Structure 1
Amino acid sequence: MMQPLPTKTYDWQGFSCAYRFAPATATQTPMLFIHPVGVGLSGRFWDRCIAAWQEGDRPLYVPDLLGCGESAMPHVAYYPEDWAAQLKFFIESVIDQVVVLVVQGALFPVAMELVSQCPERIRGMILSGPPTASLITEYTDRFWQQVRWNLFDSPLGWGFYLYARQESFLRQFSIDQLFAQPDAVDSEWLRMLAAGCANLDSRHAVYSFLSGFWRKDYRSAMKHVHQPVLVVMGNQASSISRDGVADSPLDRLKFYTETFPNAEGVVIPGRNVLPYESTTAFVEASQQFLAAKEL
């Protein structure tokens, strides 16, 4: 396993934001990795993927979203538009080049908001296990999202977060909802989550995700994305939402490839955290896509 990349910081709206950077010996398009949000998750989610990817052919940027990892953790409700604005600033002020986005799971809406805010800066997207169609095609009333936030941002939510930080819960949740193979939930994964939620202020980003601020109908916006898109789905992909409509990996793949004007899909072994559980297959599929599209 490679040594962790050193952490760098930049300031955005008065907050310190962290990122890691793997330089390149060539001048190909940089990659920007958008991590999932959940108990203990941050840019460190991509460590295995970066280690497999790191051949020096293109720069790799791995930011921590505000409220996560080593970035500042203000007590606010985080919307996809907020994280997209953070990343837009990061692209324009730190990277200062066009990028290809690599996006994990339900952070898909952040990528969509980012493409909307700065389309000229995005050359393509790679989506790892994006949400089931029902979660991004139905309008969710902001009033009820705020009600959920208020419930989480209370002693009730505090108790939930203390419980959810326990290793036993994190292991079982990972087995039940994220990984295809139970033995893939290893000590490295659990140590990463424990470090990521050590600071209890990390709960606010998790509350924001669970409140569903990211849930709205993105179909119209998707139809206006003309950059090349690769959708990578696990052959055992499942929805982690209780009210999400169950669909097969091929059904979900079909939705994305038919809604985006310029998309293609591939199914690889794994479930919902492909860059971690099926790292080699995910990196190979991504690199083949980049080469074919000359990105």
Structure 2
Amino acid sequence: MVSETTQQTISNLPETQFYQWQEYRCAYEVWSSPDSDVQKTPLLLIHPIGVGLSRRFWDRFCQQWMMANQENAIYNPDLLGCGESDMPQQAYRSEFWAEQLQHFIQTIIQKPVIIVVQGALFPVAISLFQTIDPDLIKGMILAGPPAWKIMTTSTENWKQQLTWKILSSPAGTAFYRYARRRKFLRSFSDRQLFAETEAVDHQWLDTLEAGATDLNSRYAVFSFLAGFWRKDYAIDMANLNVPVLVVIGEQASSISRTGKGEPPEQRLGDYLQHLPQGQGMELSGRNVLPYESTSTFVTAITPFARQVETVL
């Protein structure tokens, strides 16, 4: 079965806007429509990290959200090191990106948000919750979060530093050049991200190729691969005292060996057992539900967004 959104094309993208944080120039866009209600809590999207990934990951989701006449506006930023934001040559940690988003909420959005975060960027949302006024986060939607064991297992600092050192070498640069080739991107996406081979379409591959053109984009990817985001978040997740919706693909898998063999229903059950206000569901698809199963994902999270409005 071909992805339900394969035939869609993205047009009329919002104008890219910029703000300054520290010495960095950061990019974002705002999706809204005549049906958007300024009284409704906007969505703040956190895109995944990977070769060529940026806020463009969310294009299909944003378009579908608007087509569904949803009243919540969308704020879609590029994290530093990605897309049209600056790409300083440094190691990126979850706390760093969380500080960037804290500034973004306080100075640009200037009102509470519902966070929608893809995959293993969940630690960024956790760090953001810990650093910002909790009243500015009304809820979280986790799209394909990591295996529970990954989120509760620390990686030794020396391993992180060693991996970073290797990846930051000329050999790492050569690897990145190889990894941004279309053939590799297609193979990796098919093996690790999508449930259906046909869903790895031209739009997906074109976006990744364009996003990886600037070699400086490798530093965010290498930071992720080095595992600077990896630690035991069990206590942090137990302290997430906001509504959290966990959405897992029916064919969800784990790239990391730590989470291998964990069935989707077990992953969902672990999250719901430990999140104070957790809700959850499984949807058709694998690990990139907002892209592979866009309309289904939009339909699935809409009641939660409305519930957050009425409860808080």
Return the TM-score normalized by structure 2.
Answer: 0.93
Matches within 5 A, 1:224-235: 224-235=239-250
Cα distance in structure 1, aligned partners of 2:255 and 2:46: 19
Aligned-partner SS, 2:40: coil
> 1:116 corresponds to which residue?
130
Q: What stretches of structure 1 of length at least 5 have no aligned partner?
A: none
Equivalent-residue separation in structure 1 for 2:48 and 2:256 (angstroms): 15
> Which runs of no fewer than 5 residues in structure 2 stay unpaired?
1-8
Match of 2:31 among 19, 22, 28: 22
Identity of aligned residues (%): 50
Q: Deviations over 1:114-157 (max 9, x none)?
A: 01111221100000000001111012122221111011000111
SS at match of 2:257: coil
Given that 2:139 and 2:308 are in contact with CA atoms closer than 8 Å, whether structure 1 keeps it comes out as no
- Is 1:183 paired with 2:192? no
Are the aligned partners of 1:134 and 1:245 in contact in 2 as well (CA < 8 Å)?
no
Name which of structure 1's ranges 229-238 and 1-10 shifts more when overlaid on structure 2: 1-10
Using the TM superposition, give the Cα deviation of residue 292 of structure 1 relative to its aligned residue in structure 2, in angstroms: 3.0
Output the amino acid matched with 2:23: G
Aligned counterparts of 2:157 and 2:126: Cα–Cα separation in 1: 18
CA distance in 1: counterparts of 2:72 and 2:154, whole angstroms: 38
> C-alpha offsets along residues 42-87 of structure 1, whole Å, 9 cap, x if unaligned?
0000000000101251120000000000000000000000000000
Cα deviation code 1:172-194 (max 9, x no counterpart): 00000000000000000001001
Tell me if 1:206 matches 2:221: yes
CA RMSD of aligned residues (A): 1.1
User: Is the contact made by 2:42 and 2:112 (CA closer than 8 Å) also made in structure 1?
Assistant: yes
Say whether 1:276 aligns with 2:291: yes
Query: Are 1:13 and 2:18 counterparts?
Result: no
Q: Are 1:166 and 2:181 counterparts?
A: yes
SS in 2 for 1:151: helix
Q: Distance in 1 between matches of 2:70 and 2:130?
A: 30
For the residue of structure 1 that corresponds to 2:82, the secondary structure is coil
User: Which deviates more from structure 2 when the two are superposed, residues 182-191 or residues 281-290?
Assistant: 281-290
Aligned amino acid, residue 97 of structure 2: W
In the alignment, structure 1 residue 39 sits paired with structure 2 residue 51 = yes
Mapping 1:128-143, distance limit 5 Å: 128-143=143-158
For residues 233-252 of structure 1, the aligned pairs below 5 Å read: 233-252=248-267
Pairing 1:106–2:128 present: no
The amino acid that maps onto 1:32 is: L
Q: Deviations over 1:161-214 (max 9, x none)?
A: 010010000000000000000000000000100110011100000000000011
Which position in structure 1 is the counterpart of 2:3?
Answer: none
Per-residue Cα deviation, 1:9-59 (whole angstroms, up to 9, x for no partner): 001111100001013531200100000000000000000000010125112
**273, 278, 289: which is aligned to 1:258?**
273
- Distance in 2 (CA, whole Å) between partners of 1:268 and 1:38 is 23
Letter in 2 for 1:167: R
